[in-house]
Amino acid sequence: MRMRPTLSWTPTAGLPPATTDLEPVVEALGRGGVLVLSGAGISTESGIPDYRGEGGSLSRHTPMTYQDFTSGAQARRRYWARSHLGWKTFRRALPNAGHRAVAAFGRGGALAGVITQNVDGLHQAAGSEDVVELHGGLDRVVCLNCGTFVARREVARRLEEANPGFQPVAAGVNPDGDADLTDEQVGDFRVVPCEVCGGVLKPDVVFFGESVPPARVEHCRELVRTASSLLVLGSSLTVMSGLRFVRQAAQAGKPVLIVNREPTRGDGQAVARIGLPLGAALGTVADRLGLRVED
C-alpha cells in the first residue's frame, strides 16, 4: 500500500519546553546501550540543508514522490538532472563535529547502534559502524526492473558521458540530494538505463510516498527492543518512519532524549529535548565522558 507523504507538522500546545542541560544525555551514554536515531539536522553543519528547520528546503522545494518518479520519462528526466548535479555536492561533503562525536560514542562502547534517516553516508565516513540507513543511501543505484545494484559513481560517469557540458548553476541542494533547477535548466537531459536489462534506474533511497522495506523496519524495531534508551539527533520526527521508533521506545518505558533546536513531533514522548546546536553539544558530551573525538 502506498503511503501519503507527510511533508509538514505543526507543533501543538502543551509540549514540554526545551532545555540546555546536557546531563541527561551524558548520563544515558555513561550507562551505555544507547540507540541513536539521527535526521537531517545532524548534517547541516556539513553544508547539507535540513527539510524543516529555519531555512529548511521544504520552504522552497517539494521532494519528488515515488509516484511521480514512476509516472513517466519526463519526471525521471527532471529528477535525474537535478540529482546528478546535487550528487556532486553530496560527494564532497565531509563529516562534522556531530558525526565525529557519534563515532566516538560508538568507539567508547556507549551505543547499541545507529539508525539514520539521512542518505548522505556521513556517519560511516566519520567512523560509525553498523549504521542502519533507514531511507537508503545516495551512493547506490538500483534497477526497478531487475533489481541490479550499481555504485552511484558509475552511474554518474555514464550520465556525464551522456550529457557533455551539463553544468547549470543550481539555486540550492536539498537533503535528498536533489538540486534546485528550473525546467529550462533541465532541458533535454538524457537519462541512462540499466546496463543489464534496460530498465529504469533509481537511487537506492526511499522516496516520499514509498515504504521503508519491512525487513529493515523490523531490524530497527529489534534495535529499539534491545537498547536501554533512544537518543534522537537532529530530526523533527515529522515522518512516521522515524517517529514510530520513538513511540516504541516510550511505550516500552525506555527514556527518549532529543537534541534538536526546534520542537519535534516526538517531544511528548521524550524525557527531555535539548535545544542546542548539535556539533557543539555532542562535542561537550564527549568531553564529559572522556572520549576522544577524532578530526
| Residues contacting 122, CB < 8 A, separation 6+ | 42, 43, 46, 93, 94, 95, 96, 99
Residue 8 counted as an annotated binding residue? no
Residue 49 counted as an annotated binding residue? yes
Sign of CA dihedral 91, 97, 100, 105: negative
Residue 113 counted as an annotated binding residue? no
* Cα-based distances in Å from 268 to 46, 99, 237, 257: 29, 26, 12, 11
Listed residue (25, 32, 26) closest to 231, CA to CA: 25
Can you tell me the distance from the alpha carbon of 130 to that of 133, in angstroms, rounded to the nearest whole number? 9
Residue 118 counted as an annotated binding residue? yes
Can you tell me the distance from the alpha carbon of 253 to that of 58, in angstroms, rounded to the nearest whole number? 34
Round the CA-based radius of gyration of the chain to a whole number and report it. Answer: 19
Residue 242 counted as an annotated binding residue? no
Residue 56 counted as an annotated binding residue? yes
Residue 71 counted as an annotated binding residue? no
In the set 61, 84, 135, 219, the catalytic residue is 135
Residue 44 counted as an annotated binding residue? yes
The answer to whether the CB of 259 falls within 8 A of the CB of 234 is yes
Residue 52 counted as an annotated binding residue? yes
Residue 176 counted as an annotated binding residue? no
Residue 55 counted as an annotated binding residue? yes
Listed residue (260, 259, 185) closest to 29, CA to CA: 259
Q: How many residues does the chain have?
A: 295
Active site residue 135: yes
Residue 46 counted as an annotated binding residue? yes
Binding-site members for Zn(2+) are 143, 146, 194, 197
Binding-site members are 39-59, 117-120, 143, 146, 194, 197, 234-236, 278
Binding-site members for NAD(+) are 39-59, 117-120, 234-236, 278
Q: Catalytic site residues?
A: 135
